[in-house]
Structure 1
Amino acid sequence: MTVHTEPGTFALSPEEKAFFHTNGYIGPLTVYTPEEMDQLWRQVHRETLDRSHAAYPDTGAGTGAPNIHNYDRHLDIDLLAQHVVNQRIVDRVASILGPDLLCWRTEFFPKYPGDEGTDWHQADTFANASGKPQLLWPGESETEFGAGTLTVWTAFTDSTRENGCLQIIPGTQHQMNYDETKNMDFDEQRINSESKNGIPRGFFGYDYRQLQKDPDWTPDEDSAVALTMTKGQCVIFWSTLMHASLPNTSTGKDYRMGFATRYVPTKVRVYPDTDRIDEYGGSIPLDKWAAVLAHGQDTYGHNKITTETLRGTPIRPAIAS
């Protein structure tokens, strides 16, 4: 399925940009109709079962941990490759980061009935689980506060309070409450077994509180906003914005599926001096990894870039109708 869009028509308005810079997020924004998303997700769901061209081998990561072997499936699934360069997304991201953009990672975020919520967290260098910085902005070291990444979280299914929607705390992107140079201990037994302030919350086998700069600090949950979304909508936010998700307390088969695409300007170094990721009970090599030039051009040459999927399909923006 190709979504036809007119070029350059989805940039954020001055009012939207002002809201974003104050609050650290914008959305929900519509990328697909519910019918388009149903069609896209049915096909993508089937194609995820075929790992013959996937970028990473199956890691054997523990049950309930993020399936890091399914990172970056846009590198081998054509519809996801189209998604990461969809103009309804990248025009808006370019309004914030500038015209030259890389998509450096994508991730599925499922939440099934009975799954705990995700704990409050921020990410800047993304050294939080792997122990090594995965992003470095110009002039930034792993001990300095940079800008993180822009995350575009798209609802592949309806996202409700009952099935575990995202939560954010507006305006918190300006100060990191966590030290990513600290270590978190992975323990699969933590999954679906902890509660924070009376809400079942965890971090995929880690305790994110181990990274707190002030061990006595707690997030201001009274200021939290629940981001309910209809399938086909997205929210754009800084990874340094305090964010979390609610537990899935629904009954039956009401699961929530989110798909996160992460963008940085081409001047940012991705996976500097790193050849693999070790986190969440798994390990993946980066020899097949490459960033996608999602908008503009790359004049820096910091990063490995691909213009086609691992199946050999060209990656190009949606066709204007």
Structure 2
Amino acid sequence: MTTQTSPSFSLSPGELEDFHRNGFTGPFTLYEPEEMKQIWRRKRIELMDRSAAVYQDELARSGATNIANYDRHLDDDFLADHIARPEIVQRVASILGPDVLCWRSEFFPKYPGDEGTDWHQADTFANASGTPQILWPGGSDFGGTITVWCAFTDAMIDTGCLQFIPGTHRSMNYDETKRMHYDPATTTTEKDGVRRGFFGYDYRELQIDPDWKPDESQARSMQMRAGQFIVFWSTLMHASHPHAGKTQQMRLGFAGRYVPTSVRIYPDTEQIEEYGGQVSLERYGAVLVSGEDTHGHNRIATETTRGHAFGSDAR
């Protein structure tokens, strides 16, 4: 009798060493390109229905800011399974340890002609409000989150793929307590013909040294086919190319963000304050995707707002 064993997707010792040195690993294939294309053809219509979304505030319903793209895994079955896929979770647990929460997800669309996203790092995610959204234990002032960025459409240089500066994840060049000022009319910056912005903010407002500039000569472009994903520290210097408009297909990334269960999420607050407004966290919950939560710091969601158990159909 042959006993079948589940495949292991944990990072190998070599992959883990590379990750700690560079701050990222991948890309890895999760869905075949045609499979991803078919999934997104269906999902882009279904996700227009926000009736079960956790954020029902006017700011989110308007769709005018990125908050409308937050945490759709909390109401959509496919995304609820996606964030818990073993191909993702086992790799993340290789880095963070066995007890892991997914605390946020976001869509990152880039349409033909859109500017690139400016260079940035994120540690406590206090960059917009000045109030930490995640806090690591032990009084640590440096932590960040593991981001798993999956290409739902092809992400090439011409369509605005990610860029990383390897090895920059160990120290912060930005002071998130300074707080950025939101202005939807914020102009883009241009260097060597590359247009960049940051969703109505100027990330340079947070620079510890106002004269510092990232060493773009070390940047690497992370091209991915639809259905591939990459894993990186949020404290890694990252950006994206502009969408050159050579194709009418938008570039779409879906990012899940992961932390150990020991991290406090949205500590001492009941709202997200970003993009010139607030949304309520009344219906929010983090998702336990691996191990157990013995800390009890955070509100945990066990199923979507539509009653689908997290990861129940993950393969």
**2:37 is aligned with what amino acid?**
D
Q: Which structure 2 residues correspond to residues 62-141 of structure 1 after superposition, within 5 A? A: 66-140=65-139
Query: Are residues 262 and 207 of structure 1, via their aligned partners in 2, closer, same or farther at CA, if it must alter by over 3 Å?
Result: same
**2:264 is aligned with what amino acid?**
R
Name 2:234's counterpart in structure 1: 239
Q: Which runs of 5+ in 2 are unaligned?
A: none
Counterparts of 1:252 and 1:87, CA distance in 2: 33
> 1:180 and 2:187 equivalent?
no
What per-residue deviation string (whole Å, max 9, x for no partner) do you get for residues 102-157 of structure 1?
A: 0000000000011100000000000001221000000236xx2x220000000000
What per-residue deviation string (whole Å, max 9, x for no partner) do you get for residues 47-99 of structure 1?
A: 11111100002544799964203310000000000000001100100111011
RMSD between aligned alpha carbons?
1.9
**1:38 is aligned with what amino acid?**
K
**Higher mean displacement: 68-77 or 103-112:** 68-77
Q: How many residues align?
A: 312
Q: Classify the secondary structure of the residue corresponding to 1:28.
A: strand
Name 1:11's counterpart in structure 2: 10
Query: Are residues 15 and 69 of structure 1, via their aligned partners in 2, closer, same or farther at CA, if it must alter by over 3 Å?
Result: same
What per-residue deviation string (whole Å, max 9, x for no partner) do you get for residues 214-257 of structure 1?
A: 00000000000000000000010000000000100123412100
What is the Cα deviation at residue 280 of structure 1? 1.7
Name 1:170's counterpart in structure 2: 166
**1:33 is aligned with what amino acid?**
E
Contact 1:126-1:135 within 8 A present in 2 as well: yes
Contact 2:112-2:248 within 8 A present in 1 as well: yes
- Give % identity: 60
What is the Cα deviation at residue 210 of structure 1? 0.5
Name 1:298's counterpart in structure 2: 293
Name 1:213's counterpart in structure 2: 208
Pairing partner for 1:277 from 272, 277, 281: 272
Counterparts of 2:264 and 2:274, CA distance in 1: 20
Query: Are residues 266 and 284 of structure 1, via their aligned partners in 2, closer, same or farther at CA, if it must alter by over 3 Å?
Result: same
**2:100 is aligned with what amino acid?**
L
What per-residue deviation string (whole Å, max 9, x for no partner) do you get for residues 179-206 of structure 1?
A: 0000211111115x43245310011111
Counterparts of 1:319 and 1:62, CA distance in 2: 29
Q: Classify the secondary structure of the residue corresponding to 2:43.
A: helix
Contact 2:118-2:240 within 8 A present in 1 as well: yes
Name 2:49's counterpart in structure 1: 50
Counterparts of 1:289 and 1:54, CA distance in 2: 10
Counterparts of 2:6 and 2:314, CA distance in 1: 9
Contact 1:178-1:212 within 8 A present in 2 as well: yes
Counterparts of 1:319 and 1:258, CA distance in 2: 19
Contact 2:50-2:61 within 8 A present in 1 as well: no
Query: Are residues 190 and 126 of structure 1, via their aligned partners in 2, closer, same or farther at CA, if it must alter by over 3 Å?
Result: same
Name 2:254's counterpart in structure 1: 259
What is the Cα deviation at residue 313 of structure 1? 1.2
**1:148 is aligned with what amino acid?**
G
Name 2:30's counterpart in structure 1: 31
Counterparts of 1:39 and 1:120, CA distance in 2: 32
**1:296 is aligned with what amino acid?**
G
Q: Provide the TM-score with structure 2 as the length reference.
A: 0.94
Query: Are residues 267 and 219 of structure 1, via their aligned partners in 2, closer, same or farther at CA, if it must alter by over 3 Å?
Result: same
Counterparts of 2:167 and 2:229, CA distance in 1: 19
Query: Are residues 211 and 319 of structure 1, via their aligned partners in 2, closer, same or farther at CA, if it must alter by over 3 Å?
Result: closer
Contact 1:138-1:267 within 8 A present in 2 as well: yes
Q: Provide the TM-score with structure 1 as the length reference.
A: 0.93
Contact 1:100-1:265 within 8 A present in 2 as well: yes
Extract structure 1 runs of 4+ deviating beyond 3 A: 5-8, 58-66, 317-320
